[in-house]
Structure formats: C-alpha cells, structure tokens
Amino acid sequence: MMSSDHAAIDVPESSAAAKGKAPLIGSQREQKRGINKGLGIADFLLRLGAITSALAAAATMGTSDQTLPFFTQFFQFEASYDDLPTFMFFVIAMALISGYLVLSLPFSIVIIVRPYAVAPRLLLFILDTVALTLTTAAGGAATAIVYLAHNGNPNTNWLAICNQFGDFCQNVSGAVVASFVTVVVFIVLILLSGFALKRH
C-alpha cells in the first residue's frame, strides 16, 4: 500500500534575504548616529558663538566709562557702569554665563564623540535653561536702565543723559544687544537638546 501522507519540507530563508535585512537596520542606525553627531557639532559651534557674545557683553559693559571734558570746582561729570547696581549685576551675570559656557564645552565634545549619550545632553539641557533665565534677567534689567538713559522719565524727573554721555550710552547699548544675542543662542541650544533627547 502506498502512504497518502506527504512529507513537509522546510525551505530555509535564502541568504540573500537574510543579508538584506541587516544592511537596512544598520543603515538606519548609522543615519541616526550621523544626525545626532551633526546636532552635537552644531551644539559645540553655537556654544563658541555664545561665549563670544557673552564675553563681549561683559567686557563692553565693564569698560563703559566716560568723563565729560568740563567740570566745576565741586563736581566732575562722569558716568560709569559701577554707578548703577543693575549694570554691576549685568557684568557679574554675563561673566558667570561666559564661565559656564567654557566649562560646558567638554560635555559638548562628549556628545559629538558619543552621539547616543543621554546624560550629557540632559545635563546641558537643564543647565542651559538656568543660564537662559539668568541671561534674560540681566539683559532685561539692563535694557530698562538703558531706555531711561536714552529717553528719561518726565513723571519722575529722571533726565536723559545720552545727549551728554554719548559714548557711555553707545557702549552699554551694545552690551545689552550682545546679551540678547546670547539669549537667542541659548534658546536654539535648548531646542537642539530637546530634539536630540526626543530622538533617543
């Protein structure tokens, strides 16, 4: 008698199909690694720019000093940043921000070397947010004083001094602009860090 049962034969997956999946997964991983590394390089370059703007803001404000060429027997007309606590706070804050940015560079390099590292990105994300808050506070407070220096306030009898102390006002105004450039860079850094963390 002939058996009606048919033997089942397992056909193994061809080596070509097996090899086709591995390169696909590998290419996606390499692409993700390349994007993360690109974000790390952008982070490093932005930090260098932020260091420049923060140092420029601190140095410009810290050297703002002008003495008028005329004086009386009892008075000498001089304007200096240390006459105003707000400007002193500005110089100290921007100096601290500059120091923080310099210290953050090694962590930014780690992100470039190890694109999948989460801890350095998370640390920089938190510290950048704190630094952004301090920079915005310093820039905003100094902006109010610079506005009064340019326009005065008739309601409180505060006179505008920029007509007499033109160089001083130009320096402090430039320092404030540089501080807000730093604010913009910090915002971009935080967005980049958030995007990179979301990809992990």
Give per-residue pLDDT as tens, 45-103.
999 999 999 999 999 998 887 766 655 545 666 777 778 889 999 999 999 999 999 99
**One-letter amino acid for residue 158 of the chain:** W
Winning range, highest mean pLDDT, from 4-8, 22-26, 48-52, 194-198: 48-52
Amino acid at 97: I
- Give the count of beta carbons closer than 10 Å to the beta carbon of residue 33: 13
60 touches 174 (CB < 8 A):
yes
- Cα separation values, 87 from 82, 143, 179, Å: 7, 10, 12
Cβ neighbors of 20 (< 8 A, separation 6 or more) are none
pLDDT the model gives residue 68: 64
pLDDT above 60 (res 10): no
- pLDDT attached to residue 140: 95
- The residues that bridge with 158 in the sheet, in sequence order, are 153
| CA torsion through residues 144, 145, 151, 155, sign | positive
Q: Hey, what are 195's tokens?
A: 């995007």
Residue 65: CB atoms within 10 Å: 15
Distance between CA atoms of residues 200 and 196, nearest Å: 7
Residue 157 has pLDDT above 60, yes or no: yes
Q: Please state, in angstroms and rounded to a whole number, the distance separating the CA atoms of residues 189 and 36.
A: 14
Cα 65 from Cα 17, distance rounded (Å)? 75
The reported pTM is 0.79
Terminus-to-terminus CA distance in the chain, angstroms?
A: 65
